[in-house]
A = this chain, B = another copy of it.
């Protein structure tokens, strides 16, 4: 019923078992307002279920990523995870200045996608696409700002 149930169905459909650990990790990631690092997911999961093992978190996140439940984003040099929103699928532009993550509509990749397919027969993985660079704010300030722009201000921008 809830979209939460739908997510679980994705796992079932692919023959994966619904374990309490997976439910917890899923909830943790789902409730996280922002993308979280592995350690953060682990700590929150452990809070809900003390026996939670770090290896399980790694394995679970890898699985979730495989089936498309979560999206992996490289922030700085660490991987972060966030729930994949099937309705509002988006890509990321990650600023290496402020580490802000801007959303990017899939629309901007469509042409690129068809080009690769048509010219080379290469089908790119575009479920999620992340590209690093420097955002407007960091460009104008010049150099890496010591005072990063709050993620909240940037992350939910979706320029369609």
Contact = CB atoms under 8 A, between A and B. Distances in A.
A124 B132 contact: yes
A122 B108 contact: no
Contacts of A111: 111-112
Contact of A133 (B96, B108, B124): B124
A93 interface: yes
How many copies of this chain sit in the oligomeric assembly?
2
Interface stretch (A36-44, A46-54, A113-121): A113-121
A123 B125 CA distance: 22
Interface residues of A, number: 27
A123 B133 CA distance: 5
Contact of A121 (B108, B121, B135): B135
Contact of A125 (B121, B133, B159): B133
4 pairs of A and B residues whose beta carbons are closest in the complex: A121-B136, A124-B133, A124-B131, A125-B132
Interface of A: 93, 95-96, 102, 104, 108-109, 111-112, 115-116, 119-125, 129, 131-136, 139, 159
24 contacts: A93-B116, A93-B120, A96-B125, A102-B120, A102-B122, A104-B116, A104-B120, A108-B115, A108-B116, A111-B111, A116-B133, A119-B159, A120-B135, A120-B136, A121-B135, A121-B136, A121-B139, A122-B134, A122-B136, A123-B134, A123-B139, A124-B131, A125-B131, A129-B131
